[in-house]
């Protein structure tokens, strides 16, 4: 397999993953099979995992020229910081996100498909949600770039494409949430950055009023 073929496969995976998560795809599935409302999220996760695992194995087996590596004590320290930040973001997000909804189990029990991963309709600026609006997306980015000690060409390509996909995915999710929650979410957007915590850092660096 060439890098071009691998890139096309990852691009296809990202496209399929993005297409299936749209409300249009879920609506079409429900029209064709009304019971899919309960099963859609669970099936979506199963398809994503079943297609991701072999693609990742193929990527790891391809290797290629090493394009980036965390070297020495400083590199190891940077990796640990990224992984620690990822853990904090995942754990902080889990305090508000509902894992049963994320996995698709709540939809099976309650026959509904909530847009948000949690039960709350409000957007409280607290914890990691005062730092980033999408802690699991940002945590995934940190994890992708901190997990491997070295990134051969194939792996670097895959991680770069997945990183771009996470950014686009966060943007698409923003549009869906904004369409449903309107001004409440818009207020939250004004206070907190979508991914990288520029607004939070700016607040830290801003001089305190005298």
Q: Kindly state the helix (H) or strand (E) to which residue 66 belongs, with its residue range.
A: strand 66-69
On the question of pLDDT at 121 being above 70, the answer is no
Domain assignment present for 35? yes
Q: What is the pTM of this model?
A: 0.83
Domain assignment present for 210? no
- Who has greater pLDDT, 138 or 182? 138
Range of the domain at 179: 3-205
Predicted local distance difference test score (pLDDT) of residue 210: 58
DSSP code of 151? Answer: E
**What is the tally of structural domains in the chain?**
1
Q: Kindly state the helix (H) or strand (E) to which residue 164 belongs, with its residue range.
A: helix 153-181
Predicted local distance difference test score (pLDDT) of residue 181: 81
Residues 170-181, mean pLDDT to the nearest whole number: 84
Predicted local distance difference test score (pLDDT) of residue 167: 93
- Contacts for 80 with CB less than 8 Å, ≥ 6 apart: 146
Cα–Cα distance between 47 and 54 in angstroms, integer?
A: 12
**Average per-residue pLDDT in the chain?**
85
- Please report which confidence band the pLDDT of residue 115 belongs to, taking 50, 70 and 90 as the band edges: very low
């Amino acid at each position: 397999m060439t890098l071009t073929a691998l890139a096309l496969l990852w691009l296809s995976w990202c496209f399929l993953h993005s297409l299936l998560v749209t409300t249009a795809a879920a609506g079409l599935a429900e029209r064709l099979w009304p019971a899919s409302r309960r099963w859609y999220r669970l099936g979506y996760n199963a398809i994503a995992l079943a297609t991701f695992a072999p693609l990742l194995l193929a990527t790891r087996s391809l290797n290629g020229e090493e394009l980036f590596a965390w070297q020495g004590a400083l590199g190891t320290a940077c990796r640990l910081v990224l992984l620690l930040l990822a853990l904090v973001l995942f754990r902080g997000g889990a305090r508000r996100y509902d894992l049963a909804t994320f996995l698709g189990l709540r939809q099976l029990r309650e026959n509904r498909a909530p847009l948000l991963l949690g039960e709350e309709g409000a957007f409280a600026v607290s914890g990691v949600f005062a730092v980033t609006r999408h802690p699991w997306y940002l945590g995934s980015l940190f994890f992708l770039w901190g997990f491997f000690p070295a990134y051969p060409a194939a792996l670097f390509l895959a991680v770069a494409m997945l990183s771009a996909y996470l950014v686009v995915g966060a943007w698409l999710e923003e549009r869906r949430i904004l369409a449903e929650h309107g001004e409440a979410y818009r207020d939250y957007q004004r206070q907190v950055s979508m991914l990288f915590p520029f607004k939070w850092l700016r607040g830290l660096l801003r001089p305190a009023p005298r």
